[in-house]
Chains A and B, each alone.
Chain A
């Protein structure tokens, strides 16, 4: 196998007490540093797929390999380690711990991953640099996250996903809480930072207009033989 960021083979996942599988993906490869737009409407099994990639759920059968590591054959603890070390997550909204300051939120991955802490160097400086790159004014850095606007919160969340240069960035509808012009700006910003960090980016959205920014576009319905699950 080549050194892909994400490799999926014969993946089958079924929710407990559900007769029909939710995901049945014969194959999906994402190369290191590759930027992929994954299109799927809500309820298409996106969240389930992200949970599997994050190692918080296990498939019924099949294999998921992250950065050459067979996720499906690792212990729960090792999966937590791998997620902490190598994946930066970015969600729709409410990404932050509201009672921590913006900069402390950015630093959180460094408390869970020694590797990302080492790679971040001087973590506080790195966090400050990332926030500056993402256009967050310095006077907001020490405000509690709850006091920031949604747009500011998403940029803090992006900085948090990027700190310590994880090899994989997974963004789940990160722009849905933003208005249209800001969506474009945010996606561009994210792509720029992902490129600078050399990270693979899996951008999941129901909004196909955003796909224009990406070289590769996948539709979940095309790769998932299970079709839309009843949920």
Chain B
């Protein structure tokens, strides 16, 4: 049997060009299927990891998913801001342990800028209740200071002591707040959450940047130099959203009701877990469709393998007759053909895994920047192993067909192949 397998490998090597093309098709198809599954899996993972210890996210009334995506993942945009008075009223509610205001809208070279208070660094939790840690420096204390997420610092090569300017809006080429420099006073340790890609400044800084701006453009003829901004009242009048922690988590529904029926302006409070569940439900259909389509691509790849093997079988009829004359049993020939198909499938899947690894290496930063999805550099998850096994099983099934044909052929041909 071992001898037959060695012959199968040698024979396959002799036809390496056609089999190589088939192998590449299988590799690409498996890589696609695995990538879809990995992005799906890691999207859930990274979204779930990104918020911990936050009981409610509060913002202007919109969709709960939209509010979550904007406040926590800094993607999309808020329809409205909420007034500072509303935030103050909620923050002082007896059930509230802590409240951190968030103000979004500016960016630095594509990285979102988050205006908040120094409390943020104390209160924010991710993954399994881990707090933020500083890789270097400290939280900001004055207006023109900033704390960078680890990825911002790493990708742009910033260190504590550097000076940066911010851009109005999320466009990389948007109007620049060119006259106001921020000193980098701290760099956070990596968290694997959107925090890594965020530029943190104080709420006062956001107000200061927009003193001489109206409706997204600098006021013509009016510039307020950085050294003069302190003369103005820099207290934020509006914020985008707020993160709330409760003294007692059982109060969450009561407070949520309270906020949702707040009379000052239309607000909404969402529980992160509930909002994420809603998101998964919305995405579920799309995920299933994508998975089904990639599975179909794998089936097409394996159908290509089947076609290649069946086509080669006719050319190899004489080869099979020779082996038969040398004493090979029909079973040997069945084994030889099936092994060839399985070999090509296995190598294809292995190459596919390599493509996936290489692909995630190249596309991980892109996915993280645009969608907040963090691709993990890791071994396969259970669902991915299941997919691999399914591909191999389907490959085996496809390989049984030429094996069976070779068996039938060898019985019909005997020692003299009919062409």
Contacts and interface: CB of A to CB of B under 8 A. Distances in A.
Contacts of B4: 111
- The range of chain A's interface size is 20 to 34
Contacts, number: 65
A80 to B, nearest CB: 4
B226 interface: no
Interface string B1-34: 0011011001101100000000000000000000
User: Could you say which of B13, B327, B415 has the most chain A C-beta atoms within 10 Å of its C-beta?
Assistant: B327
Contact of A98 (B14, B327, B330): B14
A35 to B, nearest CB: 20
B326 A51 contact: no
Q: Is the interface of A mostly helix, strand, loop or mixed?
A: helix
Interface residues of B, number: 25
A50 B415 contact: yes
Contacts of A77: 329, 331
B416 interface: yes
B119 interface: no
A95 B326 contact: no
B327 A84 contact: yes
A57 interface: yes
Given A97-B11, A98-B14, A99-B10, A113 B327 contact: yes
A8 interface: no
Interface string B334-356: 00000000000000000000000
Contacts of A47: 414-416
Contact of A80 (B3, B322, B328, B416): B328
A108 interface: yes
A56 B415 contact: yes
A112 B415 contact: no
A100 interface: yes
Given A76-B329, A108-B326, A56 B10 contact: no
B325 interface: yes
Given A54-B414, A99-B11, 14 more contacts: A50-B416, A56-B324, A56-B411, A57-B414, A89-B326, A89-B415, A91-B415, A91-B416, A95-B322, A99-B13, A109-B327, A111-B4, A111-B6, A112-B323
A219 to B, nearest CB: 21
Nearest to B11: A99
A80 B13 contact: no
Contact of A97 (B6, B322, B324, B332): B322
A89 B415 CA distance: 9
Contacts of A63: none
Nearest to A76: B329
Nearest to A90: B325
A51 B327 contact: no
Nearest to B321: A91
A85 interface: yes
A109 B326 contact: yes
A96 interface: yes
Contacts of A113: 327
B14 A51 contact: no
